[in-house]
Amino acid sequence: MEFETLIHSTRDGIAEIRLNRPHRLNAVTQQLYDELNAALSAAEADRAVRVVLLTGEGRAFCVGADLKEHKAGRTAFDRRQYLKGEQDVCRRLLRLQKPVVAAVNGYALGAGAEMALAADFLLMAQSAQLGLPEISIGNFLGGGVTWLLPRLVGLAKARELVFLGERIGGEEAVRIGLASRVLADEGFLDAARAFAAKLAGKAPLSMQLAKEQLNLSAERTLDACLTAELEGMTFVGTTRDWQEGVDAFAEKRAPVFRGE
Protein backbone atom coordinates (compact mmCIF):
# COMPACT_ATOMS: atom_id res chain seq x y z
CA MET A 1 0.00 0.00 0.00
CA GLU A 2 1.17 3.53 -0.81
CA PHE A 3 0.81 6.27 1.81
CA GLU A 4 1.63 9.97 1.88
CA THR A 5 1.70 10.46 5.67
CA LEU A 6 3.16 7.10 6.71
CA ILE A 7 6.19 4.92 6.05
CA HIS A 8 5.02 1.32 6.09
CA SER A 9 7.04 -1.88 5.84
CA THR A 10 6.73 -5.52 6.88
CA ARG A 11 9.69 -7.70 7.76
CA ASP A 12 10.20 -10.78 9.94
CA GLY A 13 6.64 -10.71 11.22
CA ILE A 14 6.75 -7.03 12.22
CA ALA A 15 4.62 -4.39 10.50
CA GLU A 16 6.48 -1.14 11.11
CA ILE A 17 4.39 2.00 10.74
CA ARG A 18 6.14 5.37 11.00
CA LEU A 19 4.19 8.60 11.14
CA ASN A 20 5.82 10.60 8.37
CA ARG A 21 5.16 14.33 8.71
CA PRO A 22 8.50 15.27 10.32
CA HIS A 23 8.27 18.87 9.09
CA ARG A 24 5.24 19.22 11.43
CA LEU A 25 6.64 16.93 14.15
CA ASN A 26 4.15 14.31 12.91
CA ALA A 27 1.13 16.39 13.92
CA VAL A 28 -2.03 14.57 12.91
CA THR A 29 -4.37 15.42 10.05
CA GLN A 30 -7.50 13.73 8.74
CA GLN A 31 -5.40 12.07 6.04
CA LEU A 32 -2.97 10.67 8.60
CA TYR A 33 -5.79 9.17 10.64
CA ASP A 34 -7.35 7.65 7.51
CA GLU A 35 -4.05 6.18 6.33
CA LEU A 36 -3.15 4.89 9.78
CA ASN A 37 -6.49 3.09 10.04
CA ALA A 38 -5.87 1.56 6.61
CA ALA A 39 -2.35 0.44 7.58
CA LEU A 40 -3.62 -1.14 10.80
CA SER A 41 -6.36 -2.96 8.91
CA ALA A 42 -3.79 -4.30 6.47
CA ALA A 43 -1.54 -5.47 9.32
CA GLU A 44 -4.41 -7.24 11.01
CA ALA A 45 -5.42 -9.01 7.81
CA ASP A 46 -1.88 -10.11 6.95
CA ARG A 47 -1.18 -13.52 8.49
CA ALA A 48 2.56 -12.93 8.14
CA VAL A 49 2.33 -10.01 10.59
CA ARG A 50 2.67 -10.96 14.24
CA VAL A 51 3.37 -7.54 15.78
CA VAL A 52 2.76 -3.88 14.89
CA LEU A 53 5.49 -1.36 15.70
CA LEU A 54 4.30 2.25 15.68
CA THR A 55 6.79 5.11 15.80
CA GLY A 56 7.49 8.56 14.36
CA GLU A 57 9.88 9.80 11.70
CA GLY A 58 12.26 12.56 12.73
CA ARG A 59 12.43 14.30 16.11
CA ALA A 60 8.99 13.42 17.47
CA PHE A 61 6.54 10.58 17.83
CA CYS A 62 3.53 12.89 17.41
CA VAL A 63 2.78 16.31 18.89
CA GLY A 64 -0.99 16.04 18.52
CA ALA A 65 -3.32 17.95 16.25
CA ASP A 66 -1.93 20.01 13.41
CA LEU A 67 -3.50 23.35 14.34
CA LYS A 68 -2.84 24.72 10.86
CA GLU A 69 -5.42 22.24 9.62
CA HIS A 70 -8.04 23.80 11.91
CA LYS A 71 -8.69 26.63 9.54
CA ALA A 72 -11.78 28.58 8.57
CA GLY A 73 -14.15 26.93 6.13
CA ARG A 74 -14.36 23.55 7.81
CA THR A 75 -17.91 22.58 8.62
CA ALA A 76 -19.04 21.19 11.97
CA PHE A 77 -19.32 17.81 10.26
CA ASP A 78 -15.72 18.05 9.00
CA ARG A 79 -14.48 18.84 12.50
CA ARG A 80 -16.40 15.94 14.00
CA GLN A 81 -15.05 13.52 11.39
CA TYR A 82 -11.53 14.68 12.20
CA LEU A 83 -12.06 14.11 15.91
CA LYS A 84 -13.67 10.74 15.25
CA GLY A 85 -10.56 9.76 13.27
CA GLU A 86 -8.52 9.61 16.45
CA GLN A 87 -11.22 7.65 18.26
CA ASP A 88 -11.24 5.11 15.44
CA VAL A 89 -7.44 4.78 15.46
CA CYS A 90 -7.18 4.31 19.22
CA ARG A 91 -10.06 1.83 19.26
CA ARG A 92 -8.30 -0.11 16.53
CA LEU A 93 -5.01 -0.09 18.46
CA LEU A 94 -6.72 -1.33 21.62
CA ARG A 95 -8.70 -4.05 19.86
CA LEU A 96 -6.23 -5.12 17.21
CA GLN A 97 -5.84 -8.90 17.32
CA LYS A 98 -2.07 -8.53 17.40
CA PRO A 99 0.17 -6.82 19.96
CA VAL A 100 1.06 -3.20 19.26
CA VAL A 101 4.35 -1.63 20.37
CA ALA A 102 4.53 2.18 20.47
CA ALA A 103 8.14 3.37 20.24
CA VAL A 104 8.08 6.99 21.45
CA ASN A 105 11.19 8.56 19.98
CA GLY A 106 10.51 12.18 20.97
CA TYR A 107 7.51 14.24 21.98
CA ALA A 108 4.19 12.38 22.35
CA LEU A 109 1.63 15.06 23.15
CA GLY A 110 -2.16 15.23 23.05
CA ALA A 111 -3.45 12.86 20.40
CA GLY A 112 0.10 11.54 20.02
CA ALA A 113 0.18 10.53 23.69
CA GLU A 114 -3.28 9.03 23.41
CA MET A 115 -2.28 6.84 20.46
CA ALA A 116 0.87 5.73 22.30
CA LEU A 117 -1.14 4.86 25.42
CA ALA A 118 -3.54 2.74 23.35
CA ALA A 119 -0.66 0.42 22.39
CA ASP A 120 -0.02 -2.76 24.36
CA PHE A 121 3.59 -1.78 25.05
CA LEU A 122 4.90 1.77 25.38
CA LEU A 123 8.66 2.11 24.94
CA MET A 124 10.21 5.53 25.47
CA ALA A 125 13.58 6.89 24.42
CA GLN A 126 15.64 8.38 27.24
CA SER A 127 14.96 11.92 26.02
CA ALA A 128 11.31 11.38 25.05
CA GLN A 129 8.49 13.25 26.77
CA LEU A 130 4.80 12.47 27.02
CA GLY A 131 1.99 14.81 27.99
CA LEU A 132 -1.73 15.52 27.83
CA PRO A 133 -2.03 19.32 27.48
CA GLU A 134 -5.66 19.42 26.29
CA ILE A 135 -7.17 20.94 29.45
CA SER A 136 -4.47 23.61 29.49
CA ILE A 137 -5.53 24.90 26.06
CA GLY A 138 -9.29 24.60 26.50
CA ASN A 139 -9.56 21.38 24.56
CA PHE A 140 -10.65 17.93 25.72
CA LEU A 141 -9.30 14.41 25.78
CA GLY A 142 -9.83 11.72 23.17
CA GLY A 143 -8.79 8.25 22.18
CA GLY A 144 -10.42 6.56 25.18
CA VAL A 145 -7.84 7.99 27.56
CA THR A 146 -10.48 8.72 30.23
CA TRP A 147 -11.16 4.97 30.31
CA LEU A 148 -7.58 3.80 29.91
CA LEU A 149 -5.49 6.17 32.01
CA PRO A 150 -7.08 5.43 35.45
CA ARG A 151 -6.62 1.72 34.75
CA LEU A 152 -2.92 2.22 34.07
CA VAL A 153 -1.91 4.65 36.82
CA GLY A 154 -4.88 4.96 39.20
CA LEU A 155 -7.44 7.74 39.43
CA ALA A 156 -5.37 10.16 41.53
CA LYS A 157 -2.39 10.08 39.14
CA ALA A 158 -4.67 10.22 36.12
CA ARG A 159 -6.20 13.44 37.45
CA GLU A 160 -2.75 14.92 37.93
CA LEU A 161 -1.62 14.06 34.41
CA VAL A 162 -4.85 15.36 32.85
CA PHE A 163 -5.59 18.45 34.93
CA LEU A 164 -2.02 19.78 35.07
CA GLY A 165 -0.99 18.65 31.61
CA GLU A 166 2.66 18.42 32.62
CA ARG A 167 5.08 16.45 30.46
CA ILE A 168 6.84 13.44 31.94
CA GLY A 169 9.91 11.53 30.82
CA GLY A 170 10.41 7.84 30.39
CA GLU A 171 11.73 7.09 33.88
CA GLU A 172 8.68 8.67 35.50
CA ALA A 173 6.36 6.99 32.98
CA VAL A 174 7.79 3.58 33.88
CA ARG A 175 7.67 4.35 37.62
CA ILE A 176 3.93 5.08 37.57
CA GLY A 177 3.07 2.18 35.25
CA LEU A 178 2.43 4.22 32.13
CA ALA A 179 5.34 2.91 30.04
CA SER A 180 6.97 -0.50 29.78
CA ARG A 181 10.61 0.43 29.31
CA VAL A 182 13.04 3.30 28.78
CA LEU A 183 15.66 2.73 26.10
CA ALA A 184 18.79 4.69 25.23
CA ASP A 185 18.44 7.39 22.58
CA GLU A 186 21.29 5.89 20.59
CA GLY A 187 19.99 2.86 18.74
CA PHE A 188 16.46 3.41 20.08
CA LEU A 189 14.59 2.17 17.03
CA ASP A 190 16.77 -0.91 16.70
CA ALA A 191 16.14 -1.72 20.37
CA ALA A 192 12.40 -1.26 19.85
CA ARG A 193 12.57 -3.58 16.84
CA ALA A 194 14.38 -6.18 18.95
CA PHE A 195 11.61 -5.94 21.56
CA ALA A 196 8.99 -6.40 18.85
CA ALA A 197 10.93 -9.36 17.45
CA LYS A 198 10.66 -11.13 20.81
CA LEU A 199 6.89 -10.75 20.65
CA ALA A 200 6.83 -11.93 17.04
CA GLY A 201 8.32 -15.25 18.16
CA LYS A 202 5.47 -16.02 20.55
CA ALA A 203 2.33 -18.02 19.74
CA PRO A 204 0.03 -15.60 17.86
CA LEU A 205 -3.30 -17.22 18.72
CA SER A 206 -2.36 -17.33 22.40
CA MET A 207 -1.32 -13.66 22.30
CA GLN A 208 -4.58 -12.71 20.61
CA LEU A 209 -6.57 -14.36 23.38
CA ALA A 210 -4.36 -12.89 26.11
CA LYS A 211 -4.75 -9.34 24.76
CA GLU A 212 -8.51 -9.65 24.56
CA GLN A 213 -8.90 -11.18 28.03
CA LEU A 214 -6.53 -8.75 29.76
CA ASN A 215 -8.29 -5.74 28.22
CA LEU A 216 -11.67 -7.03 29.38
CA SER A 217 -10.56 -8.20 32.81
CA ALA A 218 -11.55 -5.05 34.72
CA GLU A 219 -15.10 -5.35 33.40
CA ARG A 220 -15.52 -9.00 34.34
CA THR A 221 -16.07 -10.95 37.53
CA LEU A 222 -13.57 -13.57 38.69
CA ASP A 223 -15.92 -16.33 37.58
CA ALA A 224 -16.30 -14.78 34.14
CA CYS A 225 -12.50 -14.57 33.80
CA LEU A 226 -12.11 -18.19 34.87
CA THR A 227 -14.69 -19.29 32.32
CA ALA A 228 -13.00 -17.29 29.56
CA GLU A 229 -9.62 -18.75 30.50
CA LEU A 230 -11.03 -22.26 30.39
CA GLU A 231 -12.44 -21.65 26.93
CA GLY A 232 -9.10 -20.16 25.85
CA MET A 233 -7.06 -23.09 27.13
CA THR A 234 -9.46 -25.54 25.51
CA PHE A 235 -9.25 -23.71 22.18
CA VAL A 236 -5.45 -23.41 21.99
CA GLY A 237 -5.19 -27.09 22.88
CA THR A 238 -6.75 -27.85 19.50
CA THR A 239 -4.15 -25.86 17.53
CA ARG A 240 -0.98 -26.99 15.79
CA ASP A 241 0.90 -24.27 17.66
CA TRP A 242 0.02 -25.94 20.96
CA GLN A 243 1.52 -29.21 19.75
CA GLU A 244 4.56 -27.34 18.43
CA GLY A 245 5.07 -25.78 21.84
CA VAL A 246 4.87 -29.17 23.55
CA ASP A 247 7.23 -30.77 21.03
CA ALA A 248 9.73 -27.92 21.22
CA PHE A 249 9.81 -28.11 25.01
CA ALA A 250 10.41 -31.86 24.92
CA GLU A 251 13.11 -31.47 22.27
CA LYS A 252 14.76 -28.53 24.05
CA ARG A 253 14.53 -26.18 21.08
CA ALA A 254 12.85 -22.89 20.27
CA PRO A 255 9.30 -23.35 18.96
CA VAL A 256 8.31 -22.13 15.51
CA PHE A 257 4.70 -20.97 15.65
CA ARG A 258 2.57 -20.59 12.54
CA GLY A 259 -0.68 -19.19 13.88
CA GLU A 260 -2.51 -22.45 13.12
Point out the residues that are catalytic: 114, 134
Alpha carbon of 207 to those of 12, 34, 225, 259: distances in Å?
Answer: 17, 27, 16, 10
Neighbouring CB atoms inside 10 A of 85's CB total: 21
CB burial readout 87-111, b (16+ within 10 A) else e: ebbbebbbebebbbbbbbbbbbbbb
Q: HSE of 232 in the Cβ direction (CA atoms, 13 Å)?
A: 17
CA distance 70 to 21: 17
Q: What is the DSSP string of 7-43?
A: EEEEETTEEEEEE--GGGTT-B-HHHHHHHHHHHHHH
CA angle 63, 179, 26 (to 5 degrees): 15
The answer to whether the beta carbons of residues 33 and 4 sit under 8 Å apart is no
Taken as a whole, the chain contains a residue count of 260
Instruction: Return phi, psi of residue 180, to 5°.
Output: -85, -45
Sheet (strand 107-109) strand order = 60-62, 107-109, 129-131, 168-169
